[in-house]
């Protein structure tokens, strides 16, 4: 089935020569990544294979992916008054991300994520939100002059939901494309999110939002139908190695994944969301943009870490011909 792409004439930049301008309102964490052969049981100590310290947080990851794909990116976030906060700011600056809207929260830690990676590449993550919980709606308002210059605003669920809801309303009021990645899966007021142009959940998040399973392809379609029924305009349900499902008023279409041998899946969803925002803002048709984001995310799983696994646009362009889609 062929879907008609949504019309975004009020903020289309397809004919502009400048790079897309993208703001990410979200989290910034320090990632403590341990590679293990087996998970410890209660009271058990096991030896890991190696340890890596890096930068993460879903918001920061998506900002880095968007920047590496060629966008001008502004980060709206909070960090703590600790060594990790200082290092996070230096990392953003080194990657060319505008940090003028990143503030330091006094007396709290920078967000941190403990990541356990198994030999299959699957991961388990524990997040301590720290300063991310200090990002409030008034911070969005304080950055209004900057945000009004953006083509796209991306939000996730690692900051207070009231801030996410306010960000959606802000984007809608100012005619700015809005992408919500409802990750991680937490209970949310869907009526506060339906102003977003795209909702991009994975299977677990779709199940949480729709209140029904999404383990099979048909169940995923049922979840998508339920979320559309509740008022969302367009969904892109990411299905991991099964690709992605686009759903909208005109119907649904499956976009296949790409064949890779994964090393570490940490950050793959963020690679998808950040790159998709750029591809869409460049004027790419929706299905083509999702296919390109599938490629970019698949490529990220062939390297370890989150931000450290993301390819530059030149690396992506060089590698994409070698990635073959999985026929279904």
Question: Which residues are paired to 168 by β-bridges?
Answer: none
33 alpha carbon, distance to own chain's centre: 19
270 labelled catalytic = yes
Assign 280 to helix, strand or coil.
helix
Phi and psi at 156, nearest 5°, equal -140, -175
The active-site residue, picked from 133, 222, 270, 317, is: 270
Question: Which residues are paired to 222 by β-bridges?
Answer: none
Sign of the Cα torsion 173, 179, 184, 190 reads positive
List alpha helices for 14-94, DSSP H.
58-68, 83-94
Tokens 């930049």: give the residue. 13
Q: What is the C-alpha separation between 27 and 158, in angstroms, rounded?
A: 6
Tokens 């008054």: give the residue. 81
Assign 112 to helix, strand or coil.
strand
Q: What is the C-alpha separation between 162 and 221, in angstroms, rounded?
A: 29
Q: What is the C-alpha separation between 175 and 10, in angstroms, rounded?
A: 7
Q: What is the C-alpha separation between 77 and 65, in angstroms, rounded?
A: 16
Residue in 142, 143, 135, 179 with CA at minimum distance from that of residue 161: 135
Q: Contact at 8 Å (CB) between 89 and 102? A: yes
Question: CA angle, corner 60, sides to 195 and 181, nearest 5?
Answer: 30
Q: Where are the beta strands (DSSP E) in the chain?
A: 21-25, 29-35, 50-56, 72-80, 98-105, 111-117, 123-128, 152-156, 177-181, 198-199, 235-238, 244-248, 251-255
235 alpha carbon, distance to own chain's centre: 14
Q: How many CB atoms lie within 10 A of CB 15?
A: 6
Active-site positions?
270
């Amino acid at each position: 089935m062929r879907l008609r792409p949504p019309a975004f004439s009020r903020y289309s930049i397809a004919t502009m020569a400048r790079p897309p301008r993208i703001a990410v309102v979200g989290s910034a964490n320090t990632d403590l990544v341990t590679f293990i052969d087996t998970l410890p049981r209660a009271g058990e100590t096991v030896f890991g294979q190696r340890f890596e310290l890096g930068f993460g947080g879903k918001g920061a990851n998506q900002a880095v992916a968007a920047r590496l794909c060629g966008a001008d990116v502004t980060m709206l976030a909070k960090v703590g008054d600790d060594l990790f906060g200082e290092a996070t700011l230096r990392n953003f600056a080194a990657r060319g991300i505008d940090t003028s809207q990143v503030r330091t929260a006094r007396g709290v830690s920078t967000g941190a994520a403990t990541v356990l990676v198994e030999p299959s590449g699957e991961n388990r993550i524990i997040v301590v939100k720290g300063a991310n919980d200090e990002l409030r709606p008034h911070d969005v308002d304080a950055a209004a002059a900057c945000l009004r210059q953006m083509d796209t605003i991306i939000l996730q669920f690692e900051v207070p939901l009231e801030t996410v809801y306010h960000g959606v309303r802000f984007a809608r009021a100012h005619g700015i494309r809005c992408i919500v990645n409802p990750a991680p899966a937490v209970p949310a007021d869907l009526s506060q999110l339906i102003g977003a142009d795209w909702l991009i959940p994975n299977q677990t998040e779709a199940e949480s939002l729709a209140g029904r399973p999404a383990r099979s392809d048909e169940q995923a379609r049922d979840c998508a139908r339920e979320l559309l029924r509740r008022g969302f305009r367009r969904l892109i349900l990411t299905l991991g190695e099964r690709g992605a499902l686009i759903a909208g008023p005109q119907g649904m279409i499956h976009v296949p994944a790409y064949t890779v041998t994964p090393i570490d899946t940490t950050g793959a969803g963020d690679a998808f969301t950040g790159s998709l925002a750029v591809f869409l803002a460049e004027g790419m048709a929706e299905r083509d943009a999702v296919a390109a984001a599938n490629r970019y995310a698949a490529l990220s799983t062939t390297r370890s870490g989150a931000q450290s696994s993301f390819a530059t646009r030149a690396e992506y362009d060089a590698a994409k011909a070698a990635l073959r889609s999985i026929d279904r």
